[in-house]
Structure 1
Amino acid sequence: MMTGQGSYMAPAGGNPAVAVVGQHFMAPYPVDLNIVRKMLTISEGNFGVTDANGNIMFKVKGKLLISLRDRRILLDAAGNPILSLQQKLMGVHRRWEVYRGDSKDLKDLLFSVKKSSLLQFKTQLDVFLASNTSEHHCDFKIKGSWFERSCTIYAGNSTVIAQMHRKHSVSSIVLGKDKFAVTVYPHVDYAFIVALVVILEEINEDRSSED
């Protein structure tokens, strides 16, 4: 089911089993995650991810390099680094590369993400596993509207593996928080999905740049 650089395959049920970060981040049932983005702070740890019961599952912190958006680290609840998300500024398409742990070594590259096209009215991102060096076809695709927090993640171009939608609450508005939910389908790596959502946010918050 999984290689050193991530993979997906179709099990007997027909739905894809996705293990990009690790099989221990997979469940045989849908996983509902709540993601809270603090909009009024630039401090580290501006993303928090909880399960349906409010238990912290992941945290995201930034590395203050050239800009606040250069690098993100996905941590587990205990603060251990799971993934390093690095923005690559070379080329016409701005690209995010994701490495295992806190690494920046090419051998630890798991996948990369870029816009499907330079000009878009709706969000469309292409995701390539590290093993897909030709990039003739993407391994995963993200489509939807970030403004409405309504996006769908597909394996290939057609099989849904996760969906995102906004969660409204009075406390979220008062506290300056943007809260949205992600439903991760059974047998899908939810650490991988969280990393995609973080990159989706970064790319859409950086629209004023020429990427």
Structure 2
Amino acid sequence: MQNQQQRPSAIINPKYCAPYNVDLVIVRKVLALADSFSVTDVNGKMVFNLSASLMTLHDHRVLVDAAGEPIVTLHRKMTTTHDRWQVFRGESTEMKDLIFSVKRSYFFQLKTKLDVFLAKNTKEEVCDFKVKGSWFERSCVVYAGESLTIVAQMNKRHTAESMAFGKDSFMVTVYPNIDYAFIVALILILDEINQDKRQS
């Protein structure tokens, strides 16, 4: 039987799986009405963008690639107590295009813990991935299921530019053969959930 970690874990698309560590920089531009995110490689080359419009401020956001093509839609279910988000292929919000969903592990929690369920995991008895982190420290770790196997981690990045221009930036390391578009989507959902906690 093949080692699980050696096979590419293509959640969104195999082209976002690399056989080496992928380092990404996520920059949040703090705007008056909504935050926007850009995701670059360490050389500053654009990889993804997430912009919020007034029409889709909190419950519906679209991640696009460098060419502006939609990759996934992040959609918040408004009626759940655990902050459930669903991620769909392209600009769809139809269940047939669901890729994965994310919810807080517990309703009350000091440090954020998110359970991630792939679409085929309909029973949701055991999560496929878990996100643990302290948003105030701007750090988080993504694990494979209930294991201690780390697939990605994020840390705060301090730069002179971020201090001067009101930009928040994070350094994300995605481990080999892990879908980095999937990891970026998880971190953006983590941010949304923590924004909601600060505002409530």
Look up the SS of the partner of 2:81 in the other structure: coil
**1: CA distance, partners of 2:86 / 2:176:** 25
Total equivalences in the alignment: 199
TM-score (norm 1): 0.89
Alpha-carbon offset, residue 208 of structure 1: 4.8
Q: Are 2:47 and 1:68 equivalent residues in the alignment?
A: no
Residue 106 of structure 2 is matched in structure 1 by: 117
Which of 113, 121, 127 is residue 132 of structure 1 equivalent to?
A: 121
Which of 12, 21, 27 is residue 12 of structure 2 equivalent to?
A: 21
**2: CA distance, partners of 1:144 / 1:15:** 25
Residue 203 of structure 1 is matched in structure 2 by: 193
**2: CA distance, partners of 1:70 / 1:186:** 31
Look up the SS of the partner of 1:59 in the other structure: strand
Q: Are 2:163 and 1:163 equivalent residues in the alignment?
A: no
| Contact 1:11–1:17 (CA under 8 A) maintained in structure 2 | no
| Contact 1:163–1:183 (CA under 8 A) maintained in structure 2 | yes
Residue 190 of structure 1 is matched in structure 2 by: 180
Whichever residue aligns with residue 122 of structure 2, its letter is: T
| Contact 2:34–2:57 (CA under 8 A) maintained in structure 1 | no
Alpha-carbon offset, residue 64 of structure 1: 2.8
**2: CA distance, partners of 1:207 / 1:14:** 34
Q: Are 2:83 and 1:100 equivalent residues in the alignment?
A: no
Alpha-carbon offset, residue 202 of structure 1: 0.2
Alpha-carbon offset, residue 120 of structure 1: 0.6
Unpaired runs of 5+ in structure 2? none
CA shift digits 1:64-112 (9 cap, x unpaired): 34x7211110000000000000000123222110000000111000000
Alpha-carbon offset, residue 19 of structure 1: 0.9
Tell which deviates more after alignment, 77-86 or 167-176: 167-176
CA shift digits 1:146-181 (9 cap, x unpaired): 111110001112211000000001210110000111
**1: CA distance, partners of 2:156 / 2:176:** 21
**2: CA distance, partners of 1:41 / 1:154:** 34
Whichever residue aligns with residue 137 of structure 2, its letter is: E
**1: CA distance, partners of 2:31 / 2:95:** 35
- Calculate the aligned-residue CA RMSD, in Å: 1.8
Change (3 A) 1:103 1:177: same
Unpaired runs of 5+ in structure 1? 1-9
Q: Are 2:28 and 1:37 equivalent residues in the alignment?
A: yes
Residue 7 of structure 1 is matched in structure 2 by: none
Change (3 A) 1:96 1:167: same
TM-score (norm 2): 0.93
